[in-house]
Amino acid sequence: AQSVTQLDSQVPVFEEAPVELRCNYSSSVSVYLFWYVQYPNQGLQLLLKYLSGSTLVKGINGFEAEFNKSQTSFHLRKPSVHISDTAEYFCAVSDPSGAGGGNKLTFGTGTQLKVEL
Amino acid sequence: NAGVMQNPRHLVRRRGQEARLRCSPMKGHSHVYWYRQLPEEGLKFMVYLQKENIIDESGMPKERFSAEFPKEGPSILRIQQVVRGDSAAYFCASSPKSPGVGEQYFGPGTRLTVT
């Protein structure tokens, strides 16, 4: 079975500072990896995804993530955050060989990013 | 192009009542997924449906829960005889007829409170 661990439940950071949100996964098979963002009272929005190929993935809003197979990690980074980045961020994993062709997602518990002035 | 619609946004039910949650996928989408988010937890997959078919219901509780996605109309998640432990946010997502991986578009969720 797959699982996702987001160790940091909250991450406070000052505006224009860099940020890294950590995500580790466990799986015995190859995986697809995702980061979603949830703004208050809204649904989740896909930030970026790793399916194969380059381990550095660039997403929307200036975010990027790096897939590290040996450390089973997929940390999300942004070099300079903005107040509007305040939201909850979810890491997710799926099994490419599973039902739905990799669309059945297993989510972490989320990290609340709070950007302060 | 309207996004995924869910209604109601908030639903309060007494223990023992039934809860019906509706999800209208994005136009042109024929795949629907339901997820549940319990307090302090991540989203948990419940069920994956295509029109008139349940593809994967491995995340659905064995009793009281059912889901459908009819040929016409929204997808319905039905919870019979609700209990306090059913209080959660329920999210629906949809994807196109031939979904690329991760191309799920999420609705704003229905927050169910059981009193």
For A16-30, give the DSSP string: TS-EEE--EEE-SS-
Structure confidence at residue B53 (pLDDT): 92
CB within 8 Å: B107 and A101: no
Check if the beta carbon of residue A47 is closer than 8 Å to that of residue A61: yes
For B13-70, give the DSSP string: E-TT--EEEEEEPPTTEEEEEEEEE-TTS-EEEEEEEETTEEEE-TTS-SSSEEEE--
CB within 8 Å: B103 and A34: no
On chain A, the residues whose CB falls within 8 A of the CB of B109 are: 43
Mean pLDDT of chain A: 91
Dist. CA A98–CA B29, nearest whole Å: 21
Searching chain A, which residue's CA lies closest to the CA of residue B100?
A103
| Strands A87-94, B10-13: pairing kind | unpaired
On chain B, the residues whose CB falls within 8 A of the CB of A34 are: 102
Structure confidence at residue A99 (pLDDT): 64
On chain B, the residues whose CB falls within 8 A of the CB of A108 are: 42
B72 touching chain A per CB within 8 A: no
Check if the beta carbon of residue A49 is closer than 8 Å to that of residue B101: yes
Dihedral angle of Cα B6, B38, A72, A40, to the nearest 10 degrees: 50
Least confident window among A1-5, B83-87, B89-93: A1-5
Side chain identity, residue A25:
Y
B44 touching chain A per CB within 8 A: yes
Average pLDDT over residues A79-88: 96
CB within 8 Å: A103 and B101: yes
Q: Does residue A13 or residue A95 have the better pLDDT?
A: A13
- Per-residue pLDDT tens digits for A23-74: 999 976 788 999 999 998 788 899 999 988 899 999 999 999 999 999 999 9
- Per-residue pLDDT tens digits for B36-90: 998 877 889 999 999 999 999 999 999 999 999 999 999 999 999 999 999 999 9
- What whole-number percentage of chain B has pLDDT above 90? 75
On chain A, the residues whose CB falls within 8 A of the CB of B35 are: 105, 107
Largest CA distance in chain A: 45
Structure confidence at residue A13 (pLDDT): 97
CB within 8 Å: B103 and A99: no
Searching chain A, which residue's CA lies closest to the CA of residue B102?
A103
Mean pLDDT of chain B: 91
Which residue is associated with the tokens 């939201």?
A87
